[in-house]
Amino acid sequence: MVSDRSVEELHAFAAEVGLRREWFQDGPRPHYDLRPSTRRLAVAKGAEEVNARVLVRRMARA
Q: State yes or no: pLDDT of 62 exceeds 80.
A: no
Decide if 3 contacts 48 (C-beta within 8 A): no
Each residue's pLDDT tens digit, 10-60: 999 999 999 999 999 998 889 999 999 999 999 999 999 999 999 889 888
Strand partners, 25: 31
Instruction: Supply the pLDDT for residue 60.
Output: 86
Distances (CA, A) of 11 to 16, 21, 53, 59: 9, 7, 23, 17
DSSP-based three-state secondary structure for 19: coil
pTM: 0.85
